[in-house]
Amino acid sequence: MSLKCALDLGILDIIQNHGKPMTITELVVALPMLNPTKACDIYRIMRILVHSGIFARQKLYNDAQEEGYVLTNSSRILLKDNPFCITPTLNATMDPVITKPWSFLSTWFQNDDHTPFATTYEETLWDYFAHDPQLQDLINDGLASDSQLVTNVFIDKCKEAFEGLISLVDVGGGTGTTAKAIADTFPDMVSTVFDLPNIVAGLQGSKNLKYVGGNMFEAFPTGDAILLKKALHDWDDEGCLKILKRCKEAVSSQDKVGRKLIIIDMVVRENEKVNDEASTLTKTQLFFDMLMLVLVAGKERQQEEWAKLFSAAGFRSYKITPIVS
């Protein structure tokens, strides 16, 4: 929440635009509409974010005795002008509607509700979207933000996955951030975004990009490849199995060699002995696993869990390619 406060106040962009280490006095002066009686408490926000690695302290160029705040790699990816800015993703996960169900987690363990979200609001997240389109837009923006970064890395490291493909269907592709990037990189391949009608309604395609509305638990368009980017962690094993069987049908419906299912998702590595960087990655994976538990009864899966799902859906083999170290 301290990070959310810094984002809401625009502190990261203010420090970036300052162009050099920024003292606490300079920062307080630069903050718009700051209540003067609370200016002294800005230091407390900065202090915890320094210890969290969001900011760092650095000696001023013209005064070796005084320090100013600078950005770190962790905060640069939150800048508004960063093409891979993930601030919308953080805004989505920290929205009050999303954070409130965490307070009902213990209550959920003692009742029959499907999720803590349902315990809190007496309906599923998907049903909640129907009367709060603003929240759905916030979530979609967060997903699109995440997709920009993940897709850029994926295309860079896994171009061979698209070799020889004429068509691709991005199932649960949202507003099409991933499919657009793929369509731009591979102009000779037709990419189709498949998602709920209310999500794709009114979205404009292009020569090699189109949008189709429907339900992923029912039949969806066929293609040389079916893509599922973080579409499976929203569902329990039963739901995932239904989706994977539909994918198996889609890639097996035509007599053509090389048709495939491409999945971009997490593989949790909780039992590996790893360095600090990998440990941080695992903590992030486990946080998202808890987020799926709280919101939609989904989960992040270990390799063994993925293997069981693939086998149960009828896939005879699979290959995992790590794209994040």
Q: What integer pLDDT is reported at residue 262 of this predicted model?
A: 94
Q: What integer pLDDT is reported at residue 275 of this predicted model?
A: 60
Q: Domain 2-76 maps to which CATH number in 2.40.50.140, 3.40.50.1100, 1.10.10.10, 2.60.120.680? A: 1.10.10.10
Q: What integer pLDDT is reported at residue 221 of this predicted model?
A: 86
DSSP E strands in the chain: the ranges are 55-60, 63-71, 167-171, 190-195, 209-213, 225-229, 260-264, 267-268, 301-302
CA atoms of 291 and 304, how far apart (whole Å): 21
For residue 271 the two structure tokens come to 């039992």
Active site residues: 233
- Average pLDDT per 10 consecutive residues for the chain, totaling 325 residues: 93 94 94 91 95 92 80 92 88 94 97 97 94 91 84 86 90 91 92 92 91 90 91 95 92 71 90 65 89 95 95 92 76
185-205 per-residue burial string, b: 16 or more CB within 10 A, e: under 16? ebeebbbbbbbeeebbeeeeb
Q: Return the residue matching tokens 């990037």.
A: 181
Task: Please give the C-alpha separations between residue 143 and each of 92, 152, 255, 261, in angstroms, as whole numbers.
Answer: 9, 14, 34, 21
Do 206 and 213 form a contact (C-beta atoms < 8 A)? no
Burial class (CB in 10 A: 0-12, 13-18, 19+), 253: exposed
pTM here is 0.85
Task: Please give the C-alpha separations between residue 202 and each of 113, 135, 176, 288, in angstroms, as whole numbers.
Answer: 35, 19, 12, 31
For residue 92 the two structure tokens come to 């989505």
CA atoms of 133 and 126, how far apart (whole Å): 11
Q: What integer pLDDT is reported at residue 146 of this predicted model?
A: 82
CA atoms of 173 and 188, how far apart (whole Å): 20
Q: What is the CB neighbour count within 10 angstroms for residue 233?
A: 18
Q: Locate the domains of the chain by residue range.
A: 2-76, 87-313
CA atoms of 286 and 264, how far apart (whole Å): 17
302: phi then psi, degrees, rounded to nearest 5? -80, 165
Amino acid 280 reads T
| Nearest of 139, 16, 124 to residue 69 by alpha carbon | 16
Assign domain 87-313 to its CATH superfamily: Vaccinia Virus protein VP39 (3.40.50.150)
Burial class (CB in 10 A: 0-12, 13-18, 19+), 264: buried
Helix (H) and strand (E) counts for the chain?
A: 16, 9
Handedness of CA 234, 235, 236, 237 (dihedral sign): negative
Q: What is the CB neighbour count within 10 angstroms for residue 48?
A: 13
Three-state secondary-structure class, residue 234: coil
70-99 per-residue burial string, b: 16 or more CB within 10 A, e: under 16? bbeeebeebbeebeebbbbbbbbbebebbe
**Element housing 312 (H / E):** helix 303-313
CA atoms of 309 and 190, how far apart (whole Å): 28
